[in-house]
Every structure is written in structure tokens, then in C-alpha cells.
Chain A
Amino acid sequence: MKKLEEIPKNNVFKVPEDYFERLPGIIQSRISAESTQKTSSYFSFSVRYALPVLVMIIAIVFWFNRPASIDGQNAEEILASIDTESLVAYLEEAELTTDDILETVDLSPSDMIDIENKVYDFNLDEEEIDDLLNAYDDELSNL
């Protein structure tokens, strides 16, 4: 029976000529190729995923900041096109209180000062004051 120690310890595997001389160059070129591929994959990843997200965010911002308009007109233009009598009739029927109106109106401090000045500058003569008082009396009696 052949013992292991009786067998000469030789390496049966042959190495091709210049294999180890060429090996460093091959490895270096693979490393360079992989690092170039990694850089371009980061770029394509960002383009593929980050760009659509960015476009959506911009679209959402524009959607919420868009001017209120119907058929190209803004709210002020639409109101200007409605005659005063129709507006008054609407306001009377809508039963809006002063508080309701004030909630929707965004008055700046300068607007409030203007309104106050106009109120205090009201120059009504006695006849106009009597008409106003009579109008309020009618309203109060109807409550």
C-alpha cells in the first residue's frame, strides 16, 4: 500500500508563460473599468430617479401657487364684469354677515387704515342720516 510520504511532493499545475507578469496589468485595467462604470451608474441612477421626483415637486409647487382663474380670467376681472345691482342682490340673498366677509378678506394694515379714514370722513347730511336710521329700524323690526 502506497503511503502518502512515498509520493514526491510536486505541483502538477503548470502556469502559462508570463502569466504573473501580465496579471497586474489585467487587474489594473479591470479596476479602472469598474470605477468608471460605478461613476456612470451613479449619474444614471440620479437621472432616472431624482429627476422625475424633482419635476413632480416643481409641478406641485406651481399647482398650489397658480392664480385662481376661469377661462384665462382672474377673480378680479370676473368680479369687475358683474354689474353692481347683481352683486348687491347676491349679497342680500346670501345672508352673509360682516364676520363671514371679514374671514375671507385679507386686509393689510394700510387697507384697514384707509377704511377707517373713509368711515370717519363720511359727510352725511341730516336727510341721509335719517334715511339710514329708518333703514336700520326696518331691519331691526324684521328680526
Chain B
Amino acid sequence: MVIDHDDSDDLTQEIFIKIHKHIASFREDSQLYTWIYRIATNECLNFLQKKRRRFFLPIGDVTGELSTKISNGQSISGDEVQLKLQKALLKLPDKQRLVFNMKYFDDLSYEDISEITNTSVGALKASYHHAVKKIEDFLHED
């Protein structure tokens, strides 16, 4: 979600520290991995939001910065099409990109994603199919 390895590393540590701090409050009304996933997704979205606000960058500039990291990043490898796919994903709003990643790359069910993001299954299906259409349009442009 955040592309850069150093940012991912910081976030991963923050997420596990938060889990450690709040594990006592885990109510077991959901599965543990769902609860952990929810913390992780919230941290990622908050991080991206703060990044945009901190530098007063319009959305396009942050997208451009992350796109450059995909092209030049040392921790990123893949063929041209896969890198293009990652750049296409950056065009999506953060929440839609999150849903896409969980469905496409992590193979989570809509029900699990619904529990994590607190969004209805119907809305998620619509969001995912709309994301697929946008990505395919972007891949076709080039």
C-alpha cells in the first residue's frame, strides 16, 4: 500500500506495537487475523492521509512520488507489465486500492474484507469491479 520499504518497515513495527498494547481489549467477536488486518489497514490509510496533508501535496503529486518509487525502488522487482499494474493501482483512491489489494493479491473473501473495512459486501463487489475496469483502461492506454 505504501510502496516504499522504509515506510512499510516503520508501519509494520507500529502495527505490531499497537497489537501488543491493545491485545487485552480484543473482544473475540471477530477472528484475530481480522482484528489485526483492521489495525493494519487503518494504520496504512492514516499514514497515506498524513503524507498528503504533511506536505500539502495535491493527490496527483503523492501518486507521482509513489509511481517513481515503483520505477526506481530497490525493493521492487517485476516485469514491465506488473510494474505498470502497480502504477495503475496508484491511480485508484486509497480505500479502493486497499480493497483491490485484499481481493486480488491476498485472496480474501468479500465477507472477510467486509468485516475488516466495515463495508457491505455489495459495496465491496461494486468497488472491486469498478477498480478492475479502471486498471484495464489504464493498461490499454499505453
By a beta-carbon cutoff of 8 Å, the part of chain A in contact with chain B is 1-4, 7-16, 19, 23, 26-27, 30-31, 34
Contacts and interface: CB of A to CB of B under 8 A. Distances in A.
Given A23-B12, A30-B13, A31-B17, A16 B132 contact: no
Nearest to A6: B81
Interface string B83-124: 101100000000000000000110000000000000000000
A31 B82 CA distance: 37
Given A7-B82, A13-B76, A14-B75, A2 B139 contact: yes
Nearest to B107: A9
13 contacts: A2-B140, A4-B104, A12-B77, A12-B78, A13-B5, A14-B76, A14-B77, A19-B9, A23-B13, A27-B20, A30-B13, A30-B17, A31-B20
Interface residues of B, number: 25
Contact of B17 (A9, A11, A34): A34
Nearest to B20: A31
B136 A9 contact: no
Given A26-B13, A30-B13, A3 B86 contact: no
Contacts of B85: 4, 7
A34 B20 CA distance: 12
A2 B5 contact: no
Contacts of B78: 10, 12
A9 B135 contact: no
Contacts of B104: 4, 9
B47 interface: no
A15 B74 CA distance: 10
Given A4-B136, A12-B82, A26-B13, 8 more contacts: A1-B136, A2-B140, A4-B85, A4-B135, A7-B82, A8-B82, A23-B12, A23-B13
Contact of A10 (B13, B70, B82, B136): B82
